[in-house]
Structure 1
Amino acid sequence: MKIESGLPSFGATRGACGVGALIDLNGRKTHKLVEDGLRILCNLDHRGARGAEEKTGDGAGILLQKPHEFFHSEIPTLGDFDSYGVGQLFV
């Protein structure tokens, strides 16, 4: 993988069923980035990594930065940003 300007180049890479990445080079957090990420996810439906039935997905999703300010407002004793993790589990 060749890296130019601090960003990876996937030009000759094979094997990924579908990958989309969005960033704001100025570090801004915007709703448009989330909307665009969801649009990418919808457009990757062709990957074929579905379950045995049409209604089950393959677990593909979107990764977002955790909303530390919101969590801290709900749990005032919460530590610093790097002192905890958040997960979502489907059983």
Structure 2
Amino acid sequence: MRLDKFLKVSRLIKRRTLAKEVAGQGRITINGNKAKASSIVSVGDEMTIRFGQKVVTLEVTSLKDAAHKDEADSLYRVISEEKVD
């Protein structure tokens, strides 16, 4: 599954266009490599996303083409959340 679609389905980022912008700015890595919006996400991948003053590291646990709001957070597991100055 494409990175931008995963971020939207998992509700980590609300809109797919916003996910493309964030990836284009180099704020997302998958398994330590900078990711583009078109990067392929697989189960077991470790992803790091920089949201303003916060860095979230998570593991992809499952992939779905669509997910309801209550099951969206089951697509990933948060490993760590750090504040950055």
State the TM-score, normalizing by the size of structure 2. 0.21
Which of structures 1 and 2 has the bigger CA Rg?
A: 1
> With structure 1 as the length reference, what TM-score do the two structures score?
0.20
More relative contact order, 1 or 2 (CA 8 Å, 6+ apart): 2
More strand by share: 2
